[in-house]
């Protein structure tokens, strides 16, 4: 099966992207687990360097990414440029502040030394909508990866090229293979992923139609 990129202004299908078959999906899930084993051990400084680089890539490719959003989901070019800028700002924000937000917190206990520590949990699945194809994903990516987790993206089926472009940005920013992956799958298959032992959390932004894909009580 394929996902179609359709210009909403003309209804013209200008590209098709192949859905992952079951074998490819399994390989990506296993790759996420393998990547997490190493990524969780990195320092905030190492993560921040890559996240800052992602902001630089977004800046450099602002026009190209904005034009892609215009063509694939109909966003006005000015709004599309602003969305890319906002994504770059989010990358810089968390690169600068994640260590402060997630650093150890000392707890006063008489006669004892105690502290609260935030630890990464593993692969996090994001089910995201089409209307903000970059921003909704980067507001998930930046804190998730800076916390030492790895990300899996199930984007809306009408924006596959935007989804793949996001993965490309992070690859070129220097994030290790498997730390962030786009999964080109439909909502029915995404629903099955929620119960997969390799997926440790789910982030969902979407309509009532999207909710069952991320809600294990709906299975």
In a domain, 206, yes or no: yes
Give the DSSP H/E element, type plus range, for residue 9.
none
- Band the pLDDT of 209: cuts 50, 70, 90: low
Residue 139 lies in a domain: yes
Residue 2 has pLDDT above 60, yes or no: yes
Query: pLDDT by residue (tens digit) across 102-159?
Result: 988 888 888 788 989 899 999 999 999 999 999 999 999 999 999 999 999 999 999 9
| pLDDT, tens digit, 9 for 90 and up, residues 77-101 | 999 999 999 999 999 999 999 999 9
Q: Can you tell me the mean pLDDT for 188-216?
A: 79
Q: How many domains does the chain have?
A: 1
Query: Which residue range is the domain that position 121 belongs to?
Result: 21-218
Environment class of 219 (CB within 10 Å of its CB; exposed 0-12, middle 13-18, buried 19+): exposed
What integer pLDDT is reported at residue 218 of this predicted model? 47
Domain assignment of residue 48, yes or no:
yes
Q: For residue 7, is it within any domain?
A: no
* Residue 5 belongs to a domain: no
| Residue 13 within any structural domain of the chain | no
pTM for the structure as a whole? 0.92
Q: Does some domain include residue 73? A: yes
Can you give the CATH number for the domain in which 82 is found? 3.40.605.10
Give the torsion sign (CA, 81, 85, 86, 87). Answer: positive
For 84-149, give the secondary structure using H, E and C.
HHHHHHHHHHHHHHHHHHHCCEEEEECCEEEEECCCCCCEEEEECCCCCCCHHHHHHHHHHHHCCC
Decide if 9 is inside a domain: no
């Amino acid at each position: 099966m394929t996902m179609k990129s359709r210009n909403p202004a003309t209804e013209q299908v200008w590209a098709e992207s192949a859905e992952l078959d079951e074998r490819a999906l399994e390989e990506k899930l296993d790759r996420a687990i393998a990547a997490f084993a190493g990524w969780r051990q990195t320092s905030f400084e190492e993560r921040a360097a890559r996240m800052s680089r992602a902001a630089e890539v977004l800046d450099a490719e602002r026009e190209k990414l904005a034009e892609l959003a215009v063509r694939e989901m109909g966003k006005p070019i000015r709004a599309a440029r602003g969305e890319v800028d906002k994504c770059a700002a989010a990358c810089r924000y968390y690169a600068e502040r994640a260590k402060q937000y997630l650093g150890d917190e000392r707890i006063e206990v008489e006669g004892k030394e105690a502290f609260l520590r935030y630890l990464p949990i593993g692969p996090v699945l994001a089910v995201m909508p089409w209307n903000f194809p970059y921003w909704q994903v980067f507001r998930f990516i930046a804190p998730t990866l800076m916390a030492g987790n790895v990300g899996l993206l199930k984007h809306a089926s009408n924006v596959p090229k935007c989804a793949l472009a996001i993965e490309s940005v992070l690859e070129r920013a220097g994030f290790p293979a498997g730390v962030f992956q786009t999964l080109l799958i439909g909502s029915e298959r995404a629903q099955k992923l929620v119960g997969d032992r390799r997926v440790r959390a789910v982030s969902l932004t979407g309509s009532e139609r999207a909710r069952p894909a991320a809600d294990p009580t709906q299975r």
